[in-house]
């Protein structure tokens, strides 16, 4: 499993010959828009954690480009189905075996309106299991006791956690979250994109390291392999 960071909460996940993009927000991200040309992105699936603009902005353009299937909660999937896109609707607690692996849509504590204010269902995160690897993508969320359920489902190899604070967990809560999900390898996301969520990278890494945890902060377009 190869995971490439495209800024904010946007990840390109490559599993065998399948490509999955999570929460595509590139053309609106001042840190990513000059580095990545979304017309060069072709994927099989687009996973959306919730309907906020900074998670869905480029979903339609990439879906059109690729004829990709949009996977999200029922309300978000229906929104895109009504616009003619291929979708796979899920809801909290549900699991589906896709051709790239097993996906479970899990709880997040956040909100989920579309940019025009219409209802985007309840926000969530994803657990993806494939190739004997298991990752948790929290999406935008507060620290929640529901995270303690995740080790009952799977032994994670990586937890993708928001760390930017203000709109989501910050660093201290993300450290607790990594205990709850029982994973000491954390990919930090949802930081630095806007003024509200700028973080001190060195301090963040040190705080995790002091608890025996590895916080990975990737440069945009850099990858990790699991």
Count, residues in the chain: 226
Token representation of residue 27: 């053309």
Q: Which is nearer to Ni ion, 51 or 186 (CB)?
A: 51
Q: Rounded CA gap, 132 and 209, in Å?
A: 26
- Contact between 54 and Mn ion by CB under 5 A: the answer reads yes
Size of the site for Ni ion (CB under 5 A): 2
- Contact between 23 and Ni ion by CB under 5 A: the answer reads no
Q: Rounded CA gap, 100 and 89, in Å?
A: 17
Please report, as residue ranges, which positions from 138 to 157 form the binding site for Ni ion (by CB under 5 A): 140
Please list the residues that pair with 129 across neighbouring strands.
102, 134
Q: Which is nearer to Mn ion, 50 or 104 (CB)?
A: 50
CB of 110 to Ni ion, least distance (A): 5
Please report, as residue ranges, which positions from 40 to 59 form the binding site for Ni ion (by CB under 5 A): 52
Written as one string, the DSSP assignment of 185-209 is: EEEEES-SSSGGG---HHHHHHHHH
CB of 96 to Mn ion, least distance (A): 24
Question: From residue 210, how far is each of 38, 75, 170, 206, 215 by CA, in Å?
Answer: 38, 41, 16, 6, 11
- Contact between 75 and Mn ion by CB under 5 A: the answer reads no
Q: Which of 75, 140, 165, 192 binds Mn ion (CB under 5 A)?
A: 140
Q: Identify the DSSP state of 43.
A: -
CB of 92 to Mn ion, least distance (A): 18
CB of 167 to Ni ion, least distance (A): 6
Burial 60-72 (b: 16+ CB within 10 A, else e): bebbeebebbbbb
| Dihedral, 144, 149, 153, 158 alpha carbons, nearest 10 | 30
Token representation of residue 64: 């059109």
One symbol per residue from 158 to 197: x for binding Ni ion (CB under 5 A), - otherwise; what is it?
----------------------------------------
Q: Which is nearer to Ni ion, 129 or 140 (CB)?
A: 140
Q: Which is nearer to Mn ion, 37 or 166 (CB)?
A: 166
Q: 173 touches which of Ni ion, Mn ion, none (CB within 5 to 8 A by kind)?
A: none
Instruction: By CB under 5 A, name the binding residues for Ni ion.
Output: 52, 140
Instruction: By CB under 5 A, name the binding residues for Mn ion.
Output: 54, 140
């Amino acid at each position: 499993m190869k995971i490439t960071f495209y800024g904010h909460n946007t990840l390109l996940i490559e599993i065998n010959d399948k490509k999955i993009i999570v929460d595509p927000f590139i053309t609106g991200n001042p840190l990513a828009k000059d580095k990545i040309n979304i017309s060069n992105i072709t994927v099989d699936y687009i996973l959306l954690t919730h309907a906020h603009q900074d998670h869905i902005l480029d979903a339609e353009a990439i879906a059109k480009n690729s004829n990709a299937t949009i996977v999200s909660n029922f309300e978000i999937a229906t929104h895109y189905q009504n616009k003619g896109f291929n979708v796979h609707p899920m809801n909290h607690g549900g699991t589906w075996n896709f051709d790239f692996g097993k996906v479970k849509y899990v709880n997040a504590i956040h909100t989920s309106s579309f940019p025009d204010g219409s209802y985007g269902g309840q926000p969530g995160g994803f657990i993806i299991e494939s190739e004997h690897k298991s990752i948790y993508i929290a999406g935008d969320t507060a620290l929640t006791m529901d995270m303690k359920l995740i080790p009952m489902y799977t032994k994670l190899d990586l937890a993708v956690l928001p760390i930017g604070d203000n709109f989501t967990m910050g660093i201290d809560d993300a450290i607790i979250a990594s205990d709850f999900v029982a994973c000491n390898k954390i990919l930090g996301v949802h930081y630095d994109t806007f003024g509200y969520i700028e973080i001190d990278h060195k301090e963040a890494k040190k705080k995790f390291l002091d608890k025996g945890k590895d916080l990975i902060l990737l440069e945009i377009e850099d990858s990790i392999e699991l």
